[in-house]
Amino acid sequence: MTAPPRRWRALVLGVALAAGAACSGGSGHTVQAGRASGAPAPATTGPAKPPSPAPATTAPTKAPVASTTTTRPAPGGDPTAVLDGLRIAPEGARTGYSRALFPLWIDADHDGCDTREEVLIAESTTRAQVDPYGCKVVAGDWYSLYDGLTFSDPAELDIDHMVPLAEAWDSGASAWTTARRQAYANDLDHPQTLRAVSAASNRSKGDLDPAQWKPTNEAAWCEYANDWVTVKKAWDLTADPAEVDDLKVMLRTCTGAPAPAPAPAPATTTTTAPPPATGGSVSIAALDCQGEAVTVADGAGVPADLTGWSIHDRGPNFTYRFPAGFTLAPGASVTVRSGGAAGPGEQHWTNQNVWNNTGDTAYLVNAGGGVVSTRSC
């Protein structure tokens, strides 16, 4: 994997707490979290917060390359259309698989933070607290998509491979080189591949596919299925017929209740039951790097449903996901604010500064993973 350009973020230094890079015991999983979905605070909560670390210095984080995926948005409102182009093939007996064949975690950009720490930093809904001596995340706030719980102790989280390593092996990775398997195991270029989730939900999932395991949080099924298909297409992995049947079940929930997202402020330009947006009608109208604001506009004559759409700063290091059901009225726009609190009618991204590098580029990505608009500082 090509090392992405380096980005430095101001972080709060903490007392050095142990936050080991836990890996799941399942034959196909690594400890990790939900790649990026913004998440409203759910009713249930996870473990108590650890003692607050004392303020201190800064720690480096990476800015990976822009996401490029092959999954397309569902035409004609059919959520199962994202399955078009997915290669269907039966899975044979699992032979020769070993987790050691997928080297992880690596520090691809040589900034001192390995893949696990990069995901934890990127997905914390508040500024992650990092021990700069070795780049270990010691505190933050995370939303676990699979079970709808929130956490502040990274020791309670695993970094999950959306498509487990063993499942990838069964679906085509057995023929890959070690270098390609390492790239997959540490994939920060596709935001759907790695996700920080509760250790309990990740270990429950193990190396199972959707025919064998689904998130207990049924509101997450739509996002989970879309991410699963996106990863399989991006890495040219096959799916077996039973897996596809259950993906259809999960995708059909996309027209129902959405999965929760981390506390976004409702936009004043939303409407109900709109038709899906199409690439070209929705674009980044403005990028104010000093003001930490991205404005997305609907230039079409029909409402634009931005469910599953996202904004990236050159990849998953900083990713904003529009809340499920978020809609722009014809000719309307919405501003997504980072670096502090959002104003009236704006959407809140993160309290961290996102657009703090000269030449930063914002990428607007549709529900199928395609980049539909870009704008640079």
pLDDT digits (tens, 9 = 90+) for 271-285: 333 334 334 589 999
Looking at 156-290, list the stretches that DSSP marks H as alpha helix, in order from N- to C-terminal side.
Answer: 165-170, 178-185, 199-205, 221-234, 241-251
Alpha carbon distance 262, 3 (integer Å): 29
Alpha carbon distance 145, 219 (integer Å): 9
Angle at 13 between CA 7 and CA 19, to 5 degrees: 90
The pLDDT value recorded for residue 209 is: 95
What proportion of the chain, given as a percentage, has pLDDT over 70? 70
The two structure tokens encoding residue 311: 């904004």
The pLDDT value recorded for residue 170 is: 95
Same domain membership, residue 232 and residue 89: yes
pLDDT bucket at 253, cuts 50 / 70 / 90:
very high
The pLDDT value recorded for residue 77 is: 59
Same domain membership, residue 39 and residue 116: yes
The two structure tokens encoding residue 255: 């027209």
The two structure tokens encoding residue 188: 């920060």
Alpha carbon distance 272, 265 (integer Å): 17
Alpha carbon distance 21, 229 (integer Å): 27
Q: Does residue 132 or residue 7 have the better pLDDT?
A: 132
Same domain membership, residue 182 and residue 36: yes
User: What is the Cα 211 distance to its own chain's centre?
Assistant: 22
Same domain membership, residue 98 and residue 60: yes
Number of domains into which the chain is organized:
2
pLDDT bucket at 309, cuts 50 / 70 / 90:
confident
Alpha carbon distance 164, 205 (integer Å): 9
Q: How many helices (H) and strands (E) does the chain have?
A: 6, 18
Domain ranges, residue 323: 282-376
What digits encode the pLDDT tens for the residues 95-135? 999 999 999 999 998 988 999 999 999 999 999 999 878 78
pLDDT(63) > 80: no
**HSE of 325, CA atoms in CB hemisphere, 13 A:** 15
The two structure tokens encoding residue 94: 């699992």
The pLDDT value recorded for residue 278 is: 38
- Please give the full DSSP string across 3-30, using - where no structure is assigned: PPPEEEE--B------------SSTT--
Q: Which of 122, 102, 120 is nearest to 173 (CA)?
A: 102
**HSE of 88, CA atoms in CB hemisphere, 13 A:** 9
Same domain membership, residue 290 and residue 211: no
In a domain? residue 275: no
In a domain? residue 267: no
Same domain membership, residue 106 and residue 29: yes
In a domain? residue 271: no
pLDDT(295) > 80: yes
Tell me what the mean pLDDT of segment 67-92 comes to.
Answer: 67
Q: Is 93 helix (H, G, I), strand (E, B) or coil?
A: coil
**Residue after which a domain boundary falls, among 236, 255, 274:** 255
Cis peptide before 309 (omega within 30 of 0): no
pLDDT(257) > 60: no
In a domain? residue 263: no
Q: Which residue in the block uniquely carries the two structure tokens 């799941």?
A: 24
pLDDT bucket at 145, cuts 50 / 70 / 90:
very high
What digits encode the pLDDT tens for the residues 167-207? 999 999 999 999 999 999 999 999 999 999 999 999 999 99
User: What is the rounded average pLDDT for all residues in the chain?
Assistant: 75
pLDDT(22) > 50: no
The pLDDT value recorded for residue 368 is: 62
pLDDT(23) > 80: no
Q: What is the DSSP letter of 33?
A: B
Residue 375 · residue 81 · CB < 8 Å? no
Q: Is the dihedral of CA 41, 223, 107, 29 positive or negative?
A: positive
Same domain membership, residue 324 and residue 234: no
In this prediction the pTM is: 0.51
Tell me what the mean pLDDT of segment 286-302 comes to.
Answer: 88
Taking residue 317's Cβ as centre, other Cβ atoms within 10 Å add up to 25
The pLDDT value recorded for residue 29 is: 37
Same domain membership, residue 292 and residue 239: no
Tell me what the mean pLDDT of segment 237-256 comes to.
Answer: 91
In a domain? residue 371: yes
**Residue after which a domain boundary falls, among 255, 271, 295:** 255
The pLDDT value recorded for residue 361 is: 83
